[in-house]
Structure 1
Amino acid sequence: MTKPLFLEDAYAREAPAKVTQITDEGGIVLDQSLFYATSGGQPGDSGRLVWDGGEIEIAVAVKGQGGDIVLVPAEPAGLPAIGTGVTQHISWDRRYRHMRMHTALHLLSVVIPLPVTGGSIGPDKSRLDFDMPDALEDKETVEKTLNDLIACNFAVHSEWITEADLDANPGLVKTMSVAPPRGAGQIRLVRIGEGENTADLQPCGGTHVALTQEIGRVRLGKIEKKGRQNRRVYLHLEE
Structure 2
Amino acid sequence: MTELLFRSDAYLREAPGRIVAHTPDGGIVLDQTIFYATSGGQPGDGGVLVHEGAEIAVATAVKGEGAAVVLIPSDPGPLPPVGAEVIQRHDWDRRYRHMRVHTALHLLSVVIPLPVTGGQIGAEKGRLDFMMPEPPTDPAAIETALNDLIARDLAVTDDWITDEELAANPGLVKTMSVKPPMGQGRVRLVRIGEGEGQVDLQPCGGTHVARTGEIGRVTLGKIENKGKQNRRVNLHLAD
TM-score norm. by structure 2 comes to: 0.99
- Deviation, 1:182, is 1.7
Alignment partners' CA distance in 2, 1:61 and 1:135 = 36
Does the CA contact (< 8 Å) of 1:54 and 1:78 recur in 2? Answer: no
Instruction: Report whether the alignment pairs 1:59 with 2:59.
Output: yes
Residue 14 in structure 1 maps to residue 21 in structure 2: no
| Equivalent-residue separation in structure 1 for 2:92 and 2:54 (angstroms) | 21
SS in 2 for 1:67: coil
Shift of 1:125: 1.4
Partner of 2:217: 217
State the partner residue of 1:172.
172
Paired position in structure 2 for 1:43: 43
Find the aligned partners of 1:196 and 1:78 in 2 and give their Cα distance.
55
Where structure 2 has 5 or more consecutive residues not aligned to the other structure, the ranges are none
Whole-angstrom CA distance in 2 between matches of 1:13 and 1:78? 25
Residue aligning to 1:127: 127
Q: Please list every run of 5 or more consecutive structure 1 residues that lacks an aligned counterpart in the other structure.
A: none
In the comparison of the two structures, how many residue pairs are matched?
239
**Contact 1:5 1:34 (8 Å CA) reproduced:** yes
Deviations 1:2-27 (A, max 9, x none): 00111110000000000000100000
Q: Indicate the RMSD between aligned Cα atoms, in angstroms.
A: 0.6
Q: CA deviation at 1:53?
A: 4.2
Kindly report structure 1 stretches of 4+ aligned residues shifted beyond 2 Å: none
The CA distance in 2 between the partners of 1:35 and 1:95, in whole Å, is 9
**Matches of 2:99 and 2:183 in 1, distance apart?**
26
Assess if the C-alpha contact under 8 Å between 2:181 and 2:204 holds in 1: no
Of all paired residues, the percent bearing the same amino acid is: 66
| Alignment TM-score, normalising by the size of structure 1 | 0.99
Query: For each residue in 1:145-167, what CA deviation from the matched residue of structure 2 results, as whole angstroms up to 9, or x when unmatched?
Result: 00000000000011000111111
Counterpart for residue 88 of structure 1? 88
Q: What code does the residue aligned with 1:211 have? A: R
Whole-angstrom distance in 2 between the partners of 1:67 and 1:42: 17
The residue matched to 2:45 in structure 1 has which SS?
coil
The one-letter code matched in structure 2 to 1:10 is: A
What whole-Å deviation, never above 9, does each CA across 1:38-97 have from its counterpart, x for those lacking one?
000000000000011432000000000001000000001131111000000000000000
Matched residue, 2:183? 183
Residue type of the partner of 1:50? V
The residue identity in structure 1 corresponding to 2:143 is E
